[in-house]
Structure 1
Amino acid sequence: MALHPKDEALMCKVFPSNLGPVTMRWFDSLRANSIDSFKELTWAFGSHFITCTKVPRPIDSVLCLSMQEGETLKTYSDRYWEMFNEIDGDFEDMAISTFKVGLPTEHSLRKSLIGKPITSVRQLMDRIDKYKRVEEDQQQGKGKAKVILQ
């Protein structure tokens, strides 16, 4: 597109090659001959998708997150990472400390993170996965015990 910026027809034809599935559905739904120029196409695109733009959350959004009573580690970590991923910037060190602080003081994962500190988000995610598997195994064991008792 950069080589032929004045070729409107080519620009319009090449435009969809960079679109993902959601934007491609929008593009495919355009009525035939409803767009007369590349400028009009980019305006239509911008005006349609401007409403889908998310404003990044401030870093303090994750500072108030904590694991709720009765909440599973999986649910808490899913909620945490969803919120954390909406923050603009590189806050790896903040991710580690805020996740740990959000866990109840008696939680085994929190104790593990204090006893064996980690230095990267990748290590944090690996440790979380390990503890989620243990939690899931315990939940399945309780389910089996209930079935046996009934």
Structure 2
Amino acid sequence: MIKFEQALNDKVLELQDQLQEVIKGKNQASIHNFHFTTDLAFTDEVRLEPHPRGFKMPTIEQYAGTMDTEDHLETFKSLLFFQGASDAIMCRAFPSTLKGAACQWFSSLPPRSFSNFTALGRAFLAYFISSRVHKKTTANLLAIKQQPEESIRNFLIGFNKEAPQVQNLDPVVKFQALHSGIRDVELKKSLIMDEPGDMYELFSRCEKYINLAEVLVAERKDKTEKKAQGKKEEISREIGAKHS
């Protein structure tokens, strides 16, 4: 009986030791994964560069894999540049701006994948290429034309909404696109007779014609209302005359 109890106790101790080993192994695995996701994707030069004095990570909306990648990347670069962050610090800071699918992507990167932020940014854009918003080109801007019933003001509003979406837009191309898109006959004549020298002058000329057009519309409306009122009064007088 004593031998049986001793054997049972030994078995329990053995199982406890095995359980501790399992728990220890799980803890080591989680630590390994933690270091992998935060450190090992970068080279030693990136991992070991110290933070600059006074550096604070700016607040930025985390990217989950569905928003525009270029917008997220450019926002991050602008904020980190303002902080004076080096290339290595930008690399180490970038993963903190990811969540969800984007965080999983970064966690799966092989060790020592990146030695600079340019390579990291390109990999990020390439992986989430389906989330990139289509960028307008100069061809899109040149295709904008004033419609027959469209006012100059509405045409300019539409043009100014599209122009900022064209990356690296040449001012000369922007000038040509606006100039060729105008279809208002009187404004077109004015631009041909006296060619504006730059974008500011072209917009100023458009603004003058907008004001003129709106004044003329207001005057026509006023005349129409007065004519309608005069007709109404004339009818009232005729009715009054018949009853007198």
Aligned partner of 1:3 in structure 2 is 53
- Tell me the secondary structure at the aligned position of residue 136 of structure 2: coil
Q: TM-score, normalised by structure 2?
A: 0.42
Aligned partner of 1:85 in structure 2 is 164
Please say which structure displays the higher CA radius of gyration. 2
Q: Give how far 1:103 is off.
A: 2.2
Aligned partner of 1:23 in structure 2 is none
Q: TM-score, normalised by structure 1?
A: 0.64
Name the CA shift for 1:2/1:82 in 2 (closer, same or farther; >3 Å).
farther
Q: Give how far 1:40 is off.
A: 6.5
What is the aligned length? 119
Aligned partner of 1:42 in structure 2 is 97
Kept in 2, the 8 Å contact 1:58–1:88? The answer is yes
Alignment of 1:1-150 (within 5 A): 2-5=52-55, 10-11=56-57, 15-16=58-59, 41-44=96-99, 54-104=133-183, 107-150=185-228
Hey, what's the Cα distance between the residues in 2 that align with 1:81 and 1:112?
Answer: 21
Name the CA shift for 1:89/1:39 in 2 (closer, same or farther; >3 Å).
closer
**Given residue 137 of structure 1, which amino acid in structure 2 is its aligned partner?**
V
- The structure with more helix, counted as a fraction of residues: 2
RMSD, aligned α-carbons: 2.9
Residue by residue over 1:17-64, the C-alpha shift from the partner in whole angstroms, topping out at 9 and shown as x without a partner, is: x89xxxxxxxxxxxxxxxxxx7665225xx7xx9x9754311000222
Hey, what's the Cα distance between the residues in 1 that align with 2:132 and 2:227?
Answer: 52
**Given residue 187 of structure 2, which amino acid in structure 1 is its aligned partner?**
L
Structure 2: gaps of 5 or more residues: 1-50, 62-92, 103-127, 229-244
Structure 1: gaps of 5 or more residues: 20-37
Residue by residue over 1:69-100, the C-alpha shift from the partner in whole angstroms, topping out at 9 and shown as x without a partner, is: 11100011111121122111132222222222
Hey, what's the Cα distance between the residues in 2 that align with 1:59 and 1:89?
Answer: 9
- Tell me the secondary structure at the aligned position of residue 95 of structure 1: helix
